[in-house]
């Protein structure tokens, strides 16, 4: 669940960033996809780290 939330937050961040910089629809989609993957990777690392500590 945390990984999905990380993906969604990252995708929103990337999409809004591309829109703010005046990107086309493809730019917005690409930024959303890339930042979504980055968010999911960060959330995965945090989930593994928290699970390892607990």
Note the pLDDT of residue 32.
98
Could you give the CA distance from residue 49 to residue 32 in angstroms, rounded to a whole number?
A: 25
Helix 25-53 and helix 2-20, axial crossing angle in degrees, nearest 10 = 150
Sign of CA dihedral 40, 21, 25, 16: positive
What is the model's pTM? 0.89
In tens, the pLDDT along 9-50 reads 999 999 999 999 999 999 999 999 999 999 999 999 999 999
């Amino acid at each position: 669940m945390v990984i999905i939330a990380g993906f969604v937050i990252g995708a929103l961040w990337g999409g809004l960033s591309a829109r703010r910089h005046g990107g086309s629809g493809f730019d917005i989609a690409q930024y959303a996809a890339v930042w979504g993957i980055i968010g999911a990777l960060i959330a995965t690392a945090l989930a593994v780290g928290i699970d390892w500590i607990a």
